[in-house]
Amino acid sequence: MRPAEWGLGQCQGEHSESVSASRKLIFGYHDAIDRGQATSALEVVDELAEFDMRGEKFIGRAAIGEFLARREAKKNRHTVHTLVHESVIDATATWATLAHRLLVNARRNR
């Protein structure tokens, strides 16, 4: 699914532009993973980012990038990420913190 197809809806309110921009980054990142190009979206990950996967924690762009590169190399797996139940935690004119419940469907090719 490409950005024009995401159906992100309208964001109303004082900081709607920063919320919409943050939403685009989040959806774009997960779209890249689903297309098998996870490492192409690493520019949205900063050095303070934390990523938990199956009980293992990765901190920072380098650690997250290494994990995603290993995942990307596995060609027998396909994922579809679905973000639901969005909450705007905080927002200013220049940034927004959003929370989502993330559903991941994974299929392994034999």
Class of domain 14-108 as given by CATH: alpha beta
pLDDT digits (tens, 9 = 90+) for 81-110: 998 888 888 888 888 888 888 888 888 876
CB 33 within 8 A of CB 79: yes
Q: How many angstroms separate the CA atoms of 105 and 58, rounded?
A: 21
DSSP secondary structure letters along 53-82:
ETTEEEEHHHHHHHHHHHHHH-TTEEEEEE
Q: How many angstroms separate the CA atoms of 27 and 82, rounded?
A: 9
Q: Is 108 helix (H, G, I), strand (E, B) or coil?
A: strand
Ordered by start, the domain boundaries in the chain are: 14-108
- pLDDT at site 57: 92
- pLDDT at site 72: 85
